[in-house]
Amino acid sequence: MSLLLPCLPEAAAQGDVSAAPAKTTISILYDTRFEAHDPGPDHPEQARRVSAIVERLQHSASLRPFLRWPAFAAATREDLLRVHSAAYLDLLDAEQARVHAGAHQPLSTGDTVISQHSVAVAALASGAGIAGIDAVMTQQSAAAFALVRPPGHHATRERGMGFCLTNHIAVAARYAQQRYGIQRILIVDIDVHHGNGTQAIFEADNSVFYFSAHQHPLYPGSGRPSEQGIGAGLGYTMNVDVPPGSNEQVLLHALDQQLVPAMQQFRPQLILVSAGLDAHAGDRLGALQYSDEGYGRIATRIKQLADTYAQGRMLWMLEGGYVPAQNANAVESILAAWLH
């Protein structure tokens, strides 16, 4: 897989973390090379949806002293093969090679547009998740947030779809298991869309518990409450339908009444969050009404689970969210809740 990307400026200056102990330090994984993925001028998945978050954090007097911005490398083929098939990775390389500079081409497997550097950028985004795992497992920081694009949770083992090429949260989970021997991982998906790819990858696996609360009906149409896993993974998938027009109270109730009791049995050692921000009121692609403050409350609930079972270890990875200013508001609220 080609990882040649244009040379771009450094993502951000390091925050001053000299006075911040690791338990109050947050690792932010971002690279300006994410901007090299270009699905076209009218596409909702634009670079600005992530760079607006970074700019907000860089200028936040209250958050900046607690943030560290580690460098990271792209996921290797070996890393990606823990989740995706060799045939699919070969297909990505072959289709990428046919895209010329400035061009945009639909991926043959689904509704995802690639440009000249998209496959390499997706590998870099998966690498951000790996670096986030390293940061929390080696106690460089209490938690990490990977501000990546393109998103990943719709990508299955064999197929890219829904703007996604590689499934970053799944790659991070498998890396945590392989590198650090983590036996029980909780993945919480708060995107407005169901993470069908993540569910499919782990549905027969009882070492990963997948929870998703998402708008229904909506793309991709999966994620009914009756979908609870298969085989050895039966009972380790939990889906919650959120009706259009709902605010964050539906998710908060599901966390309190469904996920918290389940975690008393599962007892996760690590929590990963597919942090889609497209459930925010006014988002371009969803019809939910989550508020800025609501994202803070969601973050508090999930942090409580991490503190109870996982020594506080959390990695959040950006998924959807298509209004830049709203994305920045939500992430600011989430990080403030972590430090509260």
43: tokens are 């596409």
Residue 280: DSSP 8-state = B
Q: What is the DSSP letter of 285?
A: S
| Separation between Cα atoms, residue 65 and residue 305, nearest integer Å | 25
In this structure, what DSSP letter does residue 93 have?
H
Q: Does the annotation count 154 as an active-site position?
A: yes
Q: Which of 84, 153, 154, 280 is catalytic?
A: 154
Instruction: Compute the distance between CA of residue 128 and CA of residue 50 in angstroms, rounded to an integer.
Output: 14
Which residues fall within 8 angstroms of residue 56, CB to CB, at 6 or more apart?
Answer: 328, 329, 331, 332
* Helix 324-339 / helix 48-58 crossing angle, nearest 10 deg: 40
Torsion of CA 213, 324, 221, 216, to 10 degrees: 50
Strands (E), 125-198: 143-146, 185-189
Query: What residues are labeled active site?
Result: 154
